[in-house]
Amino acid sequence: MSVRTRAYCERGDSVEDPTSEDLGRLVSGLTRGNRFVIVERLDAANSEYYMQAYLRDDGAYWLEYRNGGADAHFQTTCLTPQVLKRVFTMWRYSMPGWLDWFVWQPWPHDPDARDTEV
């Protein structure tokens, strides 16, 4: 079964069913004026199945995924765009192992906690 997805970034670039190369281009295009990339499931039960990355001021990335609701929303830090591209690709194609690459923390419900290092 093929998973339907859409990837898009802050500046508005959008790709339906992105390839690994498409994801790499979106990640490589992250800058201070284009800070985030989101890959969302189009065939999911609701709009809360996605993975996204945000370019921080220090050059690292906040990485998060949500798997259906607030109780399945996690975050971590990713240091390189190469790893970020690989993780997006693995998530997009439902490949095993991407969760094991990081120490995931539950998404903080307190908005002020979001600014802390993961």
Band (118; pLDDT cuts 50, 70, 90) = very low
Give the residue-averaged pLDDT of 11-32: 96
What tens digit of pLDDT does each residue of 67-109 get? 988 889 999 999 999 999 999 999 999 999 999 999 999 988 6
- Per domain, the residue ranges of the chain are 5-111
- Position 111 scores a pLDDT of 55
- CB–CB of 68/48 below 8 Å? yes
What residues contact 46, with CB distance under 8 A and at least 6 apart?
68, 69
Q: What is the C-alpha to C-alpha distance for residues 101 and 7, in angstroms, rounded to an integer?
A: 21
- Position 14 scores a pLDDT of 96
Band (58; pLDDT cuts 50, 70, 90) = very high
